[in-house]
Structure 1
């Protein structure tokens, strides 16, 4: 093993946030234990259970007695749970994993080595892939008004390195605006410097806000495409798809309000609301077709709920908190 990595021995605290994803979580923990390279660098594994009712904590305690489990009575939200864990952790770097991920044996060691050798990097993320190794979006641009006005395909065509997320132009590490938060390696001193994750974001965009603040603090945010990790995308939200999309809109509205002025935020909200109205009108026109298409009915129901959310003033209700 590289001597720099030896110097970092036992510097990693693995942190996983879960809520009612027992089987996925157990699969992830098994994959961590099967990757001896990662395990050799791991000081501890911390699981924060956000009020699960599926026996998650008991199952983890039965199979992995060395894993620390922090049990919350209710759903504290992703950001708050992450903050609980890293403040308790002893490692100099935090390997933050979604419970719906799986390590691919041997893939993460180069990313750990990269972090050890590049102290200017505050947070780095691997390439996210599906179970068949097809690429997922692994990084993202910062949400903006232009993204609401210009079609996504055109933004990806004009600037794939910034807006693509799936198109890995090279195998070399590259700076990005933000990483998808399913798997992140975060330097502890950077967490301390920026104050951790913003707990006003209950679910979604907390990692985007975090990455933005990391870059503002002078540290780099790096996408590391030569390391891969399997991500069973969407499994943690599951049957709560519509509520999940509402929660995304809640977080998006908070993000824009936090990072922009009142006028920008007002225009952004108006554009999003107008697009929602048009979606509801368009779907209503073709309503007979939805009788034969479950996916279309689900999306129509979501847009109606989203419109109600706008009419009610864009509060915190209607999403995953309920």
Structure 2
């Protein structure tokens, strides 16, 4: 790998002191390619993260942010202080393996239109199973619901080698995201209003609307703990997922689909809220209502963003968007695996 191409591995951390001894050694040990630097961006932690890093991991560069900006804006602020050609955004609860860097960086180097790459993401606790946040590459359905090769909703598949070929994907997971610095900057980074969750899907959608590609590289393998910062079942996560999904759809849907798809999604959110209520999941019910209230509060800002993005859009149809409903497939037709969908994203 040529030395004149700088690689920056940037780990955004908030109160991650307990995670560093478990996960950071693998990153240091397996990231020795020339021109590679490892950063930890401390997102306004209240523990002893920075002091611990300085004492135990002196080779790691530290970026200290003055407050907790959230995941999306935290990365935006941190990356202003990083000079590199290729960025690797890595969660603090990810263990990497030997030869994890080179395959993904090589893919980015080989294709000028390829903006981002995701490795194979397996579960740290169940190493032979795909992990929720990304698995073998991300997609969305017609109504904006995310799913992955290897993970449909909350159902994870075992890794049996069924997704061992590189392939175009719709979104690459923020748990381990390889992206060209030029592409990240050209897209103005993450949308800081998302705070956390789905900001990487929004970023990838914006890049794809501008003609760039996103890919999956299975030769690179990492293990993700998941839920290290926010539990998968927390009402705050429900709130962020529903709100940010509305933000994302409103900003990125093409003109000819906008009214029909967005109206349908509003109805589907109402069905989900009712399901939470009937199941006595009152905190999740209120989380959906709060998500919609936040959407309406931000509508003026979202309209401005949408108008700006529509002017930049050059691609009208995304083949990596599944043209059916993943909810219908999962709950009604009982489809539990990506292969059950008969979905070829390359066509």
Relative to the length of structure 2, the TM-score reads: 0.72
In structure 1, what is the Cα distance between the partners aligned to 2:54 and 2:233? 27
Corresponding residue number in structure 2 for 1:194: 187
User: What is the Cα-based RMSD across aligned positions, in Å?
Assistant: 3.0
Within the candidate set 278, 281, 286, 2:275 is matched to: 278
Corresponding residue number in structure 1 for 2:129: 134
Corresponding residue number in structure 1 for 2:228: 235
Contact 2:6/2:35, CA 8 A, preserved across alignment: yes
TM-aligned CA distance change 1:162 to 1:234, over 3 Å: closer
TM-aligned CA distance change 1:175 to 1:97, over 3 Å: same
Q: How does 1:61-100 map to 2 (within 5 A)?
A: 61-100=54-93
In structure 2, what is the Cα distance between the partners aligned to 1:9 and 1:25? 29
TM-aligned CA distance change 1:74 to 1:208, over 3 Å: same
Contact 1:83/1:196, CA 8 A, preserved across alignment: yes
Unpaired stretches in structure 1, ≥5 consecutive residues: 285-299, 318-322
In structure 2, what is the Cα distance between the partners aligned to 1:316 and 1:74? 24
TM-aligned CA distance change 1:110 to 1:254, over 3 Å: same
TM-aligned CA distance change 1:192 to 1:233, over 3 Å: same
Q: Deviations over 1:161-205 (max 9, x none)?
A: 997995764422110111221101111111122222221211011
Unpaired stretches in structure 2, ≥5 consecutive residues: 299-347
TM-aligned CA distance change 1:16 to 1:273, over 3 Å: same
Shift of 1:233: 1.3
In structure 2, what is the Cα distance between the partners aligned to 1:26 and 1:316? 42
Contact 1:13/1:89, CA 8 A, preserved across alignment: yes
Relative to the length of structure 1, the TM-score reads: 0.77
Corresponding residue number in structure 2 for 1:268: 265
Shift of 1:214: 1.8
- SS of 1:179's partner is coil
- SS of 2:112's partner is coil
Q: Deviations over 1:12-55 (max 9, x none)?
A: 011111112222134332112211xx222344222221121121
Contact 1:14/1:95, CA 8 A, preserved across alignment: yes
Q: How does 1:106-145 map to 2 (within 5 A)?
A: 106-131=99-124, 132-136=127-131, 137-142=135-140, 144-145=142-143
Shift of 1:262: 5.4
Moved over 4 A (4+): 160-168, 310-317
Corresponding residue number in structure 1 for 2:285: 304
Contact 1:133/1:230, CA 8 A, preserved across alignment: no
Contact 1:162/1:177, CA 8 A, preserved across alignment: no
In structure 2, what is the Cα distance between the partners aligned to 1:49 and 1:12? 19
- SS of 2:219's partner is strand
Normalized per residue, the structure richer in helix is 1
Q: How does 1:217-236 map to 2 (within 5 A)?
A: 217-236=210-229
Contact 1:100/1:231, CA 8 A, preserved across alignment: yes
